[in-house]
């Protein structure tokens, strides 16, 4: 007998329940699944009636069966695994972690942070043993806050005390990179919906900029995650405003300020963006007061400390970057006398400052929009995004992210003396959701292909475009797995010294005599001796000796004055360095004053302690 049925057979029904598709009305034909599916192991919605409405005698277990009630832990687990941000974070951490755990990624900035953390962990205090900026006093081992923010070295020192090592520092940054991916995805989801959020998070995972900039042991990962958290909190809970969210957002920016002083500008930008987002009639004073309390909880103590010890509210000692034409004027071109104040420099060189800011603006814009590792693959989205912004088509909640991105861009464009690509990392992450939404505005999500046995799968042209960008961007990650990293836009390999596999500037990695020089320093110098070299960072990192950057264009009297001023024990001259190899003749001429030298491969090491001991 043919049994009519109006609902799908069990396997089809389970597929429809999993995929969330609406149940269809099927023709009244016999079930293709035979009667064995009429008595499933898991009873159907109508016990005793079968799956097609045909009558069967109910079994005893069918009479008493009821779906089990999930526990609270089960419900929490089911909610957690249904959150796309979680899976994207796991994907990002899983992809970033292997290269980060195998290879230490060094740079001058990273070495200085590590040096402060090591000395903190050893109980020596917040001291930096590398004098690269020739301003301030003559102590090579000096206060680390003169050049580096305090929070990251303190946290790094705590990790080093646990025995985590450099691999632990980089893995912690990998976890923070995963948090950045979560927040970028969450921000896109809050602004433009689930699809845009998930695709934005996928782009963040594949972005070579995030991979290269967030993993090394520096402040970028923690600073970026805290800033993104503040923006997401205000965007998500800013209308209607919740005081707890504003306190948390202020606290996040206050902590970020302890890693990057320029976050002070973002602490002004975020409330401004919220004011543009705020609807008429909503509370104004209470959210702003809550935000200010969160910021001041961390900014006030360090400002008071700085005022008492340095005479200024800003803890950063790098205000001299606003008193020079280029940062090289206090680095390799330094040791040339006192600097003017920033106000005096700007007043005397107003035309140069305006031109330099305009040049920085052009360079940063080109980096963001026309570099294949940044936003160039998403270029078709920007006309749509600008049109929607000009026509007021965006929802009001986009303003916090847009204002923070704009202020971040302008803040570093105004730092004319120091162009650094990593400074625009925050701008990139805040613009990613707008890029994906702009692609969606081109109608790419309207071209749909369905697939599967009952055509439950669905993919759009937007998905294919994003996957193509992911494929292009993933080349950097593939190269890292193969042992090739990127520094300053150039590919660089790895090397092993002191049982540490590391990478860094090509000049360090490709130096065949570096190992011999390190061994000589360990064997022939004392721990308290200081060094001067054109590349002091690897010397201090591997030997623990304090060191200073040897400037260029010094004549013999000025070089002797430099050695005596900093009380340099050993001057290391690289004969391959065209800017400094002339110093060899100057120092050899001082042999009558007790200067002695040794040859170590391509290096000449001069013992200059006699110059300042006699003084």
Q: Write the pLDDT tens digit of every residue in 238-280.
A: 989 999 999 999 999 999 999 999 999 999 999 999 999 998 8
- Report, as an integer, the average pLDDT of 486-501: 93
Instruction: Note whether 253 and 267 are within 8 A (CB).
Output: yes
The whole-number pLDDT of residue 4 equals 40
- Answer left, alpha or beta for residue 190, where phi above 0 means left and psi between -120 and 50 means alpha: alpha
Per the prediction, the chain carries an average pLDDT of 87
Q: Write the pLDDT tens digit of every residue in 125-142.
A: 999 999 999 888 889 999
- Report, as an integer, the average pLDDT of 293-321: 89
How far is 540 from 518, CA to CA, in rounded Å? 10
Predicted TM-score of the model (pTM): 0.86
% of the chain surpassing 70 pLDDT: 88
- According to DSSP, the residues that pair with 604 across neighbouring strands are 573, 599
Nearest Cα residue to 170 out of 485, 547, 490: 485
Kindly report which listed range (155-159, 248-252, 380-384, 486-490) carries the lowest average pLDDT score.
486-490
Query: Cis omega (within 30 of 0) on the bond before 138?
Result: no
Ordered DSSP codes for 429-468:
HHHHHHHHHHHHHTTGGG-EEEESTTS-EEEEHHHHHHHH
Tell me which H or E stretch contains 99.
helix 84-102
State yes or no: pLDDT of 336 exceeds 80: no
Q: Write the pLDDT tens digit of every residue in 523-574.
A: 999 999 999 999 999 999 999 999 999 999 899 999 999 999 999 999 999 9
Kindly report which listed range (38-47, 156-165, 265-274, 534-543) carries the lowest average pLDDT score.
38-47
Token readout for 15 is 């597929």
Kindly report which listed range (40-44, 506-510, 516-520, 592-596) carries the lowest average pLDDT score.
40-44
Greater model confidence, 316 or 604:
604
614 pLDDT tier (thresholds 50, 70, 90)? confident
Residues 27, 29, 31, 35: is their CA dihedral positive or negative? positive
State yes or no: pLDDT of 9 exceeds 80: no
Greater model confidence, 310 or 428:
428
Strand-pair category, 495-497 with 500-503:
antiparallel
State yes or no: pLDDT of 470 exceeds 70: yes
- Report, as an integer, the average pLDDT of 394-410: 96
DSSP 3-state of 517: helix
- Residue 503: phi and psi, rounded to 5, are -140, 165
State yes or no: pLDDT of 3 exceeds 80: no
DSSP 3-state of 496: strand
């Amino acid at each position: 007998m043919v049994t009519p049925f109006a609902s799908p057979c069990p396997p089809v029904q389970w597929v429809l329940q999993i995929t969330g598709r609406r149940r269809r009305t099927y023709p009244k034909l016999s079930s293709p699944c035979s009667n064995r599916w009429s008595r499933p192991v898991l009873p159907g919605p109508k016990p005793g009636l079968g799956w097609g409405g045909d009558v069967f005698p109910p079994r005893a277990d069918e009479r008493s069966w009821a779906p089990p009630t999930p526990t609270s832990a089960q419900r929490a687990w089911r909610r957690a695994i249904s959150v796309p941000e979680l899976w994207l974070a796991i994907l990002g951490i899983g992809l970033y972690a292997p290269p980060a755990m195998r290879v230490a990624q060094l740079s001058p900035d990273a070495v200085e942070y590590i040096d402060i953390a090591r000395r903190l962990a050893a109980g020596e205090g917040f001291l930096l043993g590398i004098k690269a900026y020739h301003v301030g006093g003559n102590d090579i081992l000096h206060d680390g806050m003169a050049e580096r923010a305090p929070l990251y070295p303190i946290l790094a020192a705590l990790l080093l005390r646990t025995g985590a090592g450099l691999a632990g520092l980089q893995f912690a940054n990998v976890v923070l990179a995963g948090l950045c991916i979560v927040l970028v995805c969450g921000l896109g989801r809050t602004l433009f919906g689930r699809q845009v959020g998930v695709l934005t998070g996928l782009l963040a995972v594949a972005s070579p900029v995030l991979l290269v900039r967030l993993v090394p042991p520096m402040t970028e990962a923690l600073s970026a995650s805290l800033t993104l958290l503040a923006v997401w909190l205000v965007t998500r809970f800013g209308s209607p405003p919740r005081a707890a969210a504003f306190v948390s957002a202020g606290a996040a920016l206050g902590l970020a300020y302890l890693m990057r002083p320029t976050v002070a500008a973002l602490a002004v930008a975020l409330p401004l963006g919220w004011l543009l987002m705020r609807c008429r009639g909503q509370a104004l004073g209470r959210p702003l007061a809550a935000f200010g309390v969160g910021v001041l909880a961390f900014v006030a103590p360090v400002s008071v400390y700085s005022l008492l010890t340095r005479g200024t509210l800003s803890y950063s000692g790098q205000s001299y970057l606003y008193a020079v034409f280029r940062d090289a004027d206090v680095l390799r071109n330094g040791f040339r006398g006192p600097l003017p104040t920033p106000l005096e420099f700007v007043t005397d060189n107003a035309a140069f400052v305006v031109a330099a800011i305009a040049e920085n603006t052009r360079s940063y814009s080109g980096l963001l929009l026309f570099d294949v590792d940044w936003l160039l693959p998403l270029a078709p989205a920007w006309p749509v995004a600008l049109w929607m912004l000009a026509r007021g088509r965006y929802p009001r909640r986009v303003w916090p992210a847009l204002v923070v991105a704009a202020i971040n861009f302008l803040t570093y464009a105004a730092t004319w003396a120091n162009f650094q690509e990593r400074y625009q990392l925050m701008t990139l992450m805040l613009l990613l959701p707008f890029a994906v939404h702009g692609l969606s505005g081109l109608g790419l999500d309207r071209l749909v292909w369905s697939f599967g046995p009952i055509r439950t799968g669905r993919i759009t042209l937007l998905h294919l475009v994003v996957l193509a960008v992911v494929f292009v961007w993933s080349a950097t990650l593939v190269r890292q797995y193969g042992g090739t990293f990127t520094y300053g836009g150039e590919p660089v390999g790895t090397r092993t010294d002191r049982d540490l596999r590391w990478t860094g500037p090509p000049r360090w990695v490709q130096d065949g005599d570096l190992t011999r020089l390190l061994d000589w320093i360990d064997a022939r110098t004392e721990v308290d001796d200081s060094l001067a070299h054109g590349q002091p960072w690897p010397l201090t990192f591997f030997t623990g000796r304090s060191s200073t950057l040897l400037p260029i264009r010094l004549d013999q009297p000025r070089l002797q004055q430099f050695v005596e001023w900093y009380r340099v024990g050993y001057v290391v001259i690289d004969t391959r360095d065209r800017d400094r190899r002339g110093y060899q003749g100057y120092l050899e001429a001082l042999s009558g004053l007790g200067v002695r030298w040794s040859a170590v491969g391509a290096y000449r090491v001069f013992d200059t302690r006699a110059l300042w001991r006699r003084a």
